[in-house]
Amino acid sequence: MLEGTYRQEVLYTSALGAVIVLMGVAAQRFGIGGPKAHEPSARKILEQGFNGRREAAALKP
């Protein structure tokens, strides 16, 4: 990788941080991810009476 000046590295790092923040904002805006992201699959396992690894493997897509 080419080495740049301190100023260039600060700019690259700031740009990367901005992209990460924008991705988070977009994810919140469209309801992607979050604490309830896996709730439907967890509910399905509980409703079917999860009974060990064999059933868990059968539920995987």
User: 6-56 pLDDT, tens per residue?
Assistant: 999 999 999 999 999 999 999 888 888 777 666 666 667 666 665 656 666
Higher-pLDDT residue of 58, 22: 22
Query: CA-to-CA distance for 18 and 29, rounded, in angstroms?
Result: 16
Residue 51 identity (one-letter amino acid):
N
Question: How is residue 11 written in tokens?
Answer: 């700019």
- What are the C-alpha distances in Å from 15 to residues 1, 10, 18, 19? 18, 9, 5, 6
Question: How is residue 46 written in tokens?
Answer: 């509980």
- 1 pLDDT band, cuts 50/70/90, is low
Q: What is the pTM of this model?
A: 0.51
Higher-pLDDT residue of 59, 32: 32
* 3-state DSSP percent of the chain in helix, strand and coil, to 5: 65, 0, 35
